[in-house]
Structure 1
Amino acid sequence: MKSDHPLESSANLAQESAEELYDSAPCGYISTLPDGTLVRVNQTFLRWLGYEREELLAGKRFQELLTGGGRLFHETHCVPLLQMQGAVNELSFDLVRKDGQRLPVLLNTVQKKDASGKTLFHRTTLFDISDRRNYERELVLARKKAEEATRAKADFLSMMSHEIRTPMNAIIGLSNLLARAPLPPLFQEYVRILQSSSENLLALLNNILDFNKMEAGQLMLEERRFELRPWLHGICSGMSVKAEQKKVSLRVEFGPGVPDSLMGDPVKLGQVLTNLLGNAIKFTEQGAVTLAVRVLQGDAKGVSLGFRVSDTGIGIAQDRLPQIFEAFTQASYDITWKYGGSGLGLAICQKLLALHGSKMSVESMPGEGSSFSFDVRLKIASGSVALDAPAEDLQDTQALQGLKVLVAEDNAVNVFVLSQFLRRWGVDFDVVENGRQAVEKVQERPYDLVLMDLQMPQMDGYEATRLLRSLPGEAPRPLPIIALTASSLLGAKEQGDAALFTDFIGKPFMPQELFTKLALHGARSRAVSQERGGEKRACQERSAPEAAAGGPRFDLEKFKSLAEGDRSAEIELNTLAIGTFEKQKQDLRKALEAGNVEAFDFHTHQLKMPLALMKPRVLLKALDQGRKLIEVPGRQASGIHDVIRTIHEELDAIVDALKEDVREKSGRALHAVGSCAAMWD
């Protein structure tokens, strides 16, 4: 009999509404047994897949509705995760519809258990993510198109920069040569305007190209060894001409304990300092510009250096300080009108420092000057010592006299400009038109340095440099090769080959930049070659008996080259190595006798750098044998003692050779002092 009770009718209505809500929900609902057998599905799920309810509830398992990869992922990831957590959320699967089409869904499943904890069934909610999948696909496609557009823009700018820089090289080079010629006053003014305009155009071009490279994400840090003091003095030497023109003093100050040899990216750091020094000189009418560097903190692995560029110039208003690091921003319109500039320099500096994990700060007062500072952490190069003596002046007019340079350049105008400056500085140079001729010339005659253009016929500068680096005798003291490049961007191939070059000079170059690079790399190479002339014969005499026994036991030349030809630094380096070897000799003995693998590995690691340079074949073999012996249980004591004896003999031989070298160099220095004293007497 049908009931007309109001409460019973309301309950039936609520049940019917819940069932309708379940069946017509915008998402799919299914219930499955623990093995995946479908026991309940809603109408939405059926409509998605095109099945009748009876087809799915006739023993079909949920896994059968998945793709092959989906089934594998369900068994290996979804099921174990569900058993551990009792639920899984936001898992993406592709369901296979009855017609074979795929439907991407997002799955959420929860276990339902009885009072005893036994799993009764799984309840799963599914969301159709077809629109989301299409949106993601469109995003990927849009990103790909954007990357292609960025790449096309970068390639276009690279090509255009090469085309623009080549004539700019001639304009700037010839205007500098004209400035040194005797001209009537009016023509001198014309030349001054030509120089100023071409330099401003070059600065603008460089800033735009650098900013574009950063926006394209094509700038990456490189790591190479550089000498801090000559590097900083070289940067200041390049800026000294502008400072002298304005009668502004330019100083470099080093704090105590600043290391000399570092590992880092001197090109990008140099770009930051050059920009800051250029701004400081530009905005200073009288007084001084100071570049100061000091140690903030350091350890055996690296050092944090603080750089500060201060001036006594016009200063910056306090309300403009937050905006000066923004692109295309100047402190005021009056500054732009009076001093020029694109407003990109400081923005580029900030981006370059961001690559180092650093940030620039500024302090300034109008009419009193400005101070820009930043700090970077750099690795200390192997064999580096802290020096407090000032570096030599790289702008000495006699620094390049007699320097032997090979110029590999196919552009006649560029050759003319280079030749004029090299002759003026007393450089002995030869010119070749392609990389193949450069390789042949280097084999015919010794050079202190090579200026290598990158784009030449027959053989380009990259391939020529690879061949030069593979020549016999290149390893102990690599020939300085400076790349001449008019391109603003390097492709993947070029970036991989960039480490072959000692340094880079962009075309068009400023005369002081060329002078500085030649003095920094070429003059030092010449000094080292001359220093080694007598030592090489002595070394050959000492190693003759060893060669008869199967080659020299070790070679000190590459190790001593860390001192860069500085006799006092070489004495200090040898003394440090002697103390290290004497200590490690005992430490290695204790580790071998105790069978302590960790201690043995630690002490051999301490010797890794000097041994890699000295290549002591007998010692390395003994260390390898000792490592194998202490790894084996029940090792023989006699074998350990034989290894210890060999290690001690080889380390003693190296120490004796280092001591002899120290005595020889110390005696030579004392002889030089005695000769000077005799002259004064």
Structure 2
Amino acid sequence: MTGENGEKRAEFSVLIEESAEDLYENAPCGYLSTLPNGTIVKVNKTLLRWLGYEAEELLHRKKFQDLLPVGGKLYYETHYGPLLQMQGSVSEINFDLKEKQGQRLPVLVNTIQIVGDDGKPLLNRTTVFNITDRKKYEQELLRARKEAEEAAKVKAEFLSTVSHEIRTPLNAIVSIANLLQATDHSKEHKEYFRALKLSADSLFHLINDILDYSKIEAGRVELIERPMSLRELVYSLVYSVSITAEEKGLAMKVELDERLPEQVLGDPVKVGQILTNLLGNAIKFTEEGYVALKLQVQDLTNEEASIHFQVEDTGIGIPPDKLEKVFEEFTQASYDVNLKYGGTGLGLTISQKLLSLYGSKLSVESEEERGTTFFFNLRLKLAPEQNATPDELTNESEDFIRGVKLLLVEDNPVNVLVVSRYLQRWGVEYDVAKDGIEAVEHVMRHDYNLVLMDLQMPHMDGYEATSKIRGLREEKYRQLPIIALSASARYDFKEQMEAAGIDDFISKPFNPMELRAKITFHSLNAAQDALEPAGTEESPGFESSWHLEPPTEPDAPAFTLTTLEEMLEGDEKDLEELVRMTIRNFEIAKLELQNALVSQDLKSYRSSNHRIRMTVELLHAGRLLSTIERGRSLLESNVAAMEEKEEASVAMGEEFNSVISGLKDTLINRWGSVEATNGL
């Protein structure tokens, strides 16, 4: 009897073992065991079936890392492995596994580390969950959400079409009127009144020239000829539309011919209306890339100038058979365009009719999905000389700005060098703080006329530093002008900026004219009536903004030092030091950006991008900038495959290496600084 019971127990034990083994092999999830170095020593049939391998192809032949693509391997070495060693287990880690045939299998893994009596790791047991269906479901949800948002956007644009152009200046009038009522007579009063008058004028002309379309159609609109500065007009227009562009993540570029006359005779309202229509359309129909406004002098005499105006974008483009129809009233390129983007279809018609008053014509060139360029020519008389010449105004501007005491808060040494060169040239006295903590300490110890505040810094960022300055006891700290100097877009932090108490904003890379104008305006507001800073700067070679166009030729130079050479005015010592710092910064940034990309850390990616963005653009490193932007787009998309991110990481690394190598060659060939490249 005992023997019979023993046989049954043995048989039952075998059945249990077979059942457990069957459960392990054919479980709905994958199982594998690896040695501490990743060598696979056991794997179940489920995981083999998913990956398309036979057991003998994996066991003791491959490591778990071998099943991972490049980005996964990097994450395994830098995060997964150290975390497993530190806490003995990891949960819910997202990987892509490489199947035998080359496809990617999205999985979630959970790993437990088995240790011996001596505490040393013996084995890693990993459970693998196939999340292919979940990924597809997430993508469908994202797609459905995007479609719903687009539908809501179409309805909102349709409802606001008629009233939008009127409500914009009207809101400004109402808001500023309220400010005037709540403000005692002070130095701000005059600026509020000026802004109120400009908004009122804008509303008046919009009502008379756009809504009263019949007046234009009947030819009763007349041109007014008076002196105007095209530079001032251009920058004021670009500034007025820049917020909308920034909200869409678009770069705004301005390129002005150095020969552009200081003053011409023309109708600034009509010319401004034409350019506003073109810029507004360009921004509306462009989802990514840039919008550029370019003025080129074609012919210049002592009496008049022939000027070519061009508005260029990288938007949706116009089909060839629709190019002429866009100038017809109440007409757009297609019904779908009207449905998606809205609009009355009058903007180009009005612009064309206004140009006809000048004897000119609006022309267009376009390619679908590549962008559109509108252009026209104006022949304008030169304005007679005013009481003060441009040279005298420039000298006067320098007299006002000279002696201003300023605090520059910036953690990037390259950016400090760039900004300080201009401050030195203008005679501005300045101190430097490398983070928000130092900024607050400097402000408490010294009396400054103005603070230039970077927003993204270690230890304490620009928002917190500004808030602490505003919270200091004395009233002077609440009146101290603080300008944000940042490579981020304004829409990223508009509410934070207002909440912190920041007065104004300048984007990096900055336009020298804008920087000097705002320093002058904010630090010497009482002298504003005697000075028009935005139109008095003479800065040959710096008329263009430094935002980059996508490279047009694959074999174009990886970078150029031209802008830096002009900016540093031939100072070889400063240029050499700037190149050295750039090499060091790029070596660090390359690793930070690649790691952030493959680990899908958007916050870190944006932070690293912010620190080097100005330098990249000053170097005109178009291909490098393009690869960085590609990585950012992939991280923001939420649906991009890991394979795409890995490829983008490799491409970005190659471009970084190309620029770094070129800069090192420059150090050696130009300055003989062989030792400068050691250890970089």
Normalising by structure 1, report the TM-score: 0.30
Normalising by structure 2, report the TM-score: 0.30
